[in-house]
Structure 1
Amino acid sequence: MIAPVFILLLFALVTFISVRGFQSLDDRMYTVARDLAPDTAVATGVLTDIYRMRLRVFDFYSSGNEAVIAEFEDLNSEFAETIGKAQNVIEAPDRAVLVDEIEEMTGNYVDVFKNELVPLKRRVADITQNELDVSGPAATKAFQLSLNGVADRTPMSSLRVDIEELLTGAVMMRMKAQRFLATGNEDVRKDLEYAIQDLTEAVQGLDTDRGPQFIKTYLDTAVSELNSYKVSVQTLVEVMRELEQTKTDKLDVIGPQIADKARSLEESIHRSLEVAADKADAESDLALKFTLIAFGISLVLGLMVATLMSRMMGASVKRAKGEILSYLDDISQDNGDLSTRLTTGRADEIGDFIEAVNQFLGTLEDTISKIVSSARQLNTESEALSGITERTRANSEQQRDQITQVSAAMQEMVSTCEEIASNTNDTDESARKASSLADSAQETVSRAIKSVNELAEQIGAGSLRIQKLEAESGEIGSVLEVIHNIAEQTNLLALNAAIEAARAGEAGRGFAVVADEVRGLAKRVQESTVNIERIVSNLQSGAAGAVVDMSKAKQMAGEASEEAGQSGSALSEILAAVNVIAEMTTQVASATEQQRATAAEMTQNIEVSSNAIDDLAGDVNQVNRSSRSLSEMADDLNQLVRKFRSD
């Protein structure tokens, strides 16, 4: 009775250990199939959504485009779905804690963006559009009106030069404000405040008594608008400082922390996947080897015990011995039928031994049946695991392709930013050339205005001289009238003298000759007077026409001077606009460079994610190979247990 009981206990122990080993392996495969493979896809999705949300935050901070907020909301909704899926799928305590921390920190990140950064950025836009873009142009317009008024009255006065400097200062002030809006640089802020202060003091110190009252009114308006502009700039500086602190102290701190935790989650899953694959390989090898060795040892020990007992029992157990040896020989020849039982009916110890052997065979039959079932289940689970790893590999390849596309798009974006920066530099160079040409044109127009004004003054002086000549020619006409009257009287006197000489006869002949000479002289005087009157009349007509022409010329010179002044003002505005364009192109180039750097950083992060997915694909392939090895081991185990037959 001792030997059968020993063999039975030995086989029971081997069976128990083998079943436990295969159950552990089955649990390990189930864990890999249920937890780790889906966890990897979810963790990668969380990390991708976080990077995309951070990119939208940077876009809104740089541009203030309201459409980016809607895109951020959509990404936040996608992230909420992804993190909810992660909470449902991920069961490991340490990774579940990471998921909860990511969700909490992302909620804080979204709150800071929506409740702090967005209102501050909108406040900056409101101050710019409704305050700076109103008071700044109003002050510039007041200076321009003052300049036009001074140019109309005293074109070359020192007051005009002072107002032109004020106009240029106002334009430069607005340009520095635009530059501060684009860069937020502290040095630019100081330059802007100094420019506002210097311009205000220059206006207040201007001697407006040199000009008319309406010039003073325009300058008072400019001072009022400058004060409003100064207050708006101070408010803008505070808001932008708070905006920068919000980004630097909160978003730029929380964002990288979230990304680090998401990468830690992904790396933890990868490590668990590798560990699970290694343990599965080790446990499957150990379980199979232990089962084979244990069965071999059990069979050897059973044979040794049975042989020993048969020799000790003698001839009375030869039949049982022969039957048992025959049965064991069948088993060794791969013809073992576990459903066969030894012949019973003896009431002695041999009968008890045969009964124990039959019970052992029943237990062995059950054990082999369970091993067969476990081997089949192991084969099924291995095939299922192979399918899961294949799907995971396909998903990983799909994600890698998508990340490759995103990386290509980011590379294209970097190239576009570089091209924009190059074009912006060309535009800036053209704007500076246009500014130089506008300066030259303004100097030319100033010289033309001076020449036209001098011409107008000379025309005015000539007109006065011609008017004086016309008046003097009128006086000549009066003198000629007197001469004409004297000539007529002289002619009458000469005629009377000739009549008296004729009456005197011979004595008056000499006097008659003199009278004839006097009368002829008077006639010539009258004729000369008529000619002089005709010449003077022509001179007066020409002088009158010259006066009209000179008046028209003076008026045209005045109009030309006014138009030249307006051209000078227009060129001043063009010069200011060109300078603004140059500054804006510089700002665009700076913003483009920042965007290119951010895109390059995102490209690097995407490459890191792509490498992680490549590592995941390698791990999945390793798991797939392990599952195939398990399937082959299950086939080997099935092949071994096929040596035994049971009903």
Structure 2
Amino acid sequence: MIAPVFILLLFALVTFYSVREFRSLDDRMGTVARDLAPETAVATGVLINLYRLRLWVFDYYATGNEEILSRLKHLESEFFNDLANAQANIQAPERIRLVREIEQATSRYVGFFEEELVPAKQQVQRIVAEELDQYGPAASKALRRAMDGITNREPGSPLRVTLEQLIHDTLLMRMATQRYFSDGTETSEKALGYAMEDVSDALSFLDMDAVPGFIRQYLDTAIEALEKYQASVNSLLLHQGAMNRTKTEQLDVLGPEITQLARELEQKVFVAMEAVADEAESKTDTALRFIMAAFATSVVLGLVVAYLLSRMMAVSVKRARAEILGYLEDIGNNRGNVSTRLTKGRPDEIGDFISAVNSFLETLEDIISRIATASRGLTSESESLSDITDRTTKNSEQQRDQITQVSAAMQEMVSTSDEIASNTNDTDESARQAARLADSGQATVTNAIQSVTRLAEQVQEGSLRIQRLEQESGEIGGVLEVIQSIAGQTNLLALNAAIEAARAGEAGRGFAVVADEVRGLAKRVQDSTVDIERIVSNLQSGAAGAVVDMSKARQMAEEASDEAGRSGEALSDILAAVNRIVDMTTQIASATEQQRATAAEMTRNVEASSGAIDELTGDISHVNDSSKALAGMAEEMDSLVRRFQVN
């Protein structure tokens, strides 16, 4: 037993060491998955958002687009959220320090941008949009008008040369301003200063006392606009310079520092991941070498122990085999003694097997003893069962004869029920015929009632229409009165027109003819309205008579509808009485049918009982035969049990 125990201990040691090493490897992989991988993603995200932030800042510096500010706000929020996530996820103190330095530097970077560069850029854009773009074109326009005036009135004046130079210098100054606003370089700033000096020199050569009065107002406007333009340019240079200083001295310094910190953070995360990977690889190699060595040792020891165990087990196996074969041979010769037991062996696997065989023999001895006792009892019980089946067979034959007599009586009762059911069905059919006739009469009366009702409704509708016709005829009378009034006024107007035409003399002759025609038309309209009024009056009289006649017809239709309703009620009472007769005959028929069905069911039950008794008689005969066979089998089982020797 020492060798197997040693092998088990060796395997336990190998398993413990392997589990410890692989658990350590799993912890390292978990460190990579839980800590370093998220830290890598966070560091990379911080670096990417930092590049985006700087690009948006430079874009705003170059263009001044206000939409970029809203995007920068969103990007700043996202960037600082990434930094907060980095502080929550990163575990190493050195990397946490870098994240905090990045956050502090970025806060200063954003502060310089929002507090210094953005206000300066907004001032520059305001100066350009509200001052330079206004004063510059105004000065150029006024100088061109002055130049046009000199050219038209005094083409040979020395003032023309001065104005041409001033216009040229003004244009160069505006171009230099635009160039400086675009790139903001030192070269463009110097060029702008030279252009402003040239404009000032040109203005100093301008003798306002010698300027003619017709262009003085233009020159005054131009000089005022140029002075304001130069003042705005100086303000522009001031704000642009502040913006350039913020960019070069703050943003261009902080930006690379923050980028370097982010790269250092990313690099430290990568270095930590490489260290964890190298350590995991080393531990894996060590564990594999230890497992291979332990496996080889276990194989060698296992082979040696197996050989020794096989030698020791051979003796016990041979002895147990001889005893088992002898016992089986005794059983084959009908001399088997179930009280025999095998010789106990060593406390090993063979010994356990011999103990199990002995336990089996003890159980077998107990089972055979119980079978012998049961077989003797079974023989006695089978004989008792045979006597009982004989008595049951005689009783079932007597009961079958009695059931046959009951079945004959039930057949006669079913015949009588069939005759009663036939008579009841004839009565029910007659009652249903009367019910159908009553239904037909009621349907006819119902149709008559509906027809009379519809006639009354139509008469009512016709009466309403004639009443509306009478009302509309009255309205026509009102319209005729209006037409008569208009015709009378038209006649008066035509008469007045004729009088005025007569006063006008020859000039109003044509108008008099027209007035006579109008007066004639008004006369004919009055005559026509009289005829229409007579026709409408006759129509109203006819409509009133029709209303009276329709009212009488509606009253007669209502009386006919009432009489038809009373007839329908009488037929309904008749139909109810017939239906009660039908129900009573139906109940009689149903009761008769139930009685006949009950009698038939009893007949079937009696016949089924007779069949069941016949089947029971057959079953009892089978049971008798089975009990006799069971007695024979009990005797055979007892003879078989006697072949074994039991204490």
| Bin of the TM-score, shorter chain as denominator length | 0.3 to 0.5
TM-score by length of 2: 0.43
Give the structure, 1 or 2, with the largest relative contact order (CA under 8 Å, sep 6 or more). 1
Bigger Rg, structure 1 or 2:
2
TM-score by length of 1: 0.43
